[in-house]
Amino acid sequence: MMVLVLNCGSSSLKYQLLNMETEQMLATGLVQRIGMEDAGFEYKVPGGKEIKEVTSILDHTAGIKKTLAALTHPEYGVVKSMDEIAAVGHRVVHGGEAFTSSVLITDEVKSTLRALFDLAPLHNPPNLTGILAAEAALPGKPQVGVFDTAFHQTMPRTSFLYALPYAMYKRHKVRRYGFHGTSHRYVSERLAANLGKSLDGLKVITCHMGNGSSVAAILNGKSFDTSMGFTPLEGLIMGTRSGDVDPGALFYIMQREELTVQELNSMLNKHAGMKGISGISSDARQIEEEMEKGEARAKETFDMMEYRLRKYIGAYAAAMNGVDAIIFTGGIGENSNLLRGAVCRNLSYLGVELDEEINNTRSKKERTISTPSSKVQIWVIPTNEELVIARDTVAVVNGGSR
Ligand code: AMP
């Protein structure tokens, strides 16, 4: 069964085609600057053909049609015809309280998604645009929605309620939702598979560290708490997002700088985080490079990011009354031995013992980087959100649920 996985933004579309018999990724790519005459189209077959083209792609449907033409191309395509594609899986950012698992897209689901636009105004409208475009480009094929928030719907009320007037929750559904759910779920399930046991009885902390970052406390395989909140702005220091800030400081800044709500929003989401503190870059690798050259602000940025993560790990170990395993994933979590090393060396109070040599060895594989005697196992597990979406799509299309 071939599954096309789509992740649609307002002017972009990322795709992967997966053969779900083998769980192999057959082709991947992205369309950028949708709506423009000079849109970018990229297509890549692992170990094979790579295309980069600048062309006019005026809407998401045109982007999907262009993708399908490449996938079925007689010379460099990976399937003979569109008929071979059995279903489409969509990454949907916000499922609110309505979606606790992945679902088959129906008219009712689409209207619920519309009702959720206010909760994720930047993400959900393009996600729905992508669904409608895929329906137009691949008529009759089942479409499945996989939500970033769904995995975290198991959080207890003590974790997800904010101490605001209760009416704010009742009236406006303001609460912690959490994001990166497919990633936290995937890496925790991979841990269980590696250990050869169930997640029942296990206390796991998953650290998804990328351009956007979040930590989750996973108790008995269920999300118990997570650092992102009502929006993906709360929690850790990210590439351009501030993470936690005293709300009082924001009122003060708004007054002093005479900022509108939109301007403050833009400051917190696009000009803060590593970029804002360092004044150098939002990119962790670049921050590390500058730090190693002796750049003081870069070092401070790295230290702040590491410290915030370590505080959350400590908080979640306390929240679950212990921790059996800590997992690092995402671009930074998978690749930065410096970050993992700095965090783990400061967790000796939990009985964490890092194997420095393994931590410093580059690898793309799932691996444990703690010593055999470490009380808490430390793992690096590359995430694969597309695979989760494709697996859920197969499960939902076959009548199951995820
Ligand atoms: P993601 O959003 O998961 O793709 O992660 C992107 C982040 O991973 C960026 O901040 C990159 O700089 C960071 N990253 C990728 N490779 C490395 C590396 N070798 N060392 C440190 N950070 C890295």
Residue 321 Cα to ligand 1 midpoint, Å, equals 31
Residue 339 CA: nearest ligand 1 atom is 21
Q: Which residues form the pocket of ligand 1, taking CB atoms under 6 Å from any ligand atom?
A: 210-211, 239, 283-285, 288, 330-332, 335-336
Ligand 1 pocket test: which of 285, 286, 289 has the largest number of ligand atoms within 8 Å of its C-beta?
285
Q: Domain ranges in the chain?
A: 2-147, 196-385
C-alpha span between 103 and 276 (Å, rounded): 38
Residue 332 alpha carbon to ligand 1 centre in Å: 4
Cβ contacts of residue 61 below 8 Å, gap of 6+? 132, 133, 136, 137
Superfamily of the domain at 2-147 = ATPase, nucleotide binding domain (3.30.420.40)
How many whole angstroms from 284 Cα to the centroid of ligand 1?
6
2-147 and 196-385 agree in CATH topology: yes
Which residue is listed with tokens 């964490």? Answer: 352
The atom number, within ligand 1, closest to the CA of 239 reads 10
Distance of CA 247 to the CA centre of its chain: 25
Encode the chain (402 residues) as per-residue pLDDT tens digits.
999 999 999 899 999 999 999 999 999 999 999 999 999 999 999 999 999 999 999 999 999 999 999 999 999 999 999 999 999 999 999 999 999 999 999 999 999 999 999 888 888 999 999 999 999 999 999 999 999 999 999 999 999 999 999 999 999 999 999 999 999 999 999 999 999 999 999 999 999 999 999 999 999 999 999 999 999 999 999 999 999 999 999 999 999 999 999 999 999 999 999 999 999 999 999 999 999 999 999 999 999 999 999 999 999 999 999 999 999 999 999 999 999 999 999 999 999 999 999 999 999 999 999 999 999 999 999 999 999 999 999 999 998 767
Please choose from 211, 291, 380 the residue to mutate so as to test ligand 1's pocket, defined by most ligand atoms within 8 A of CB: 211
Distance from residue 94's CA to the centre of ligand 1 (Å): 24
- Ligand 1 atom with least separation from CA of 274: 10
Give the nearest ligand 1 atom to 209 CA.
3
Residues annotated as part of the active site: 148
Query: What architecture is domain 196-385?
Result: 2-Layer Sandwich (3.30)
CA angle 47, 49, 54 (to 5 degrees): 135
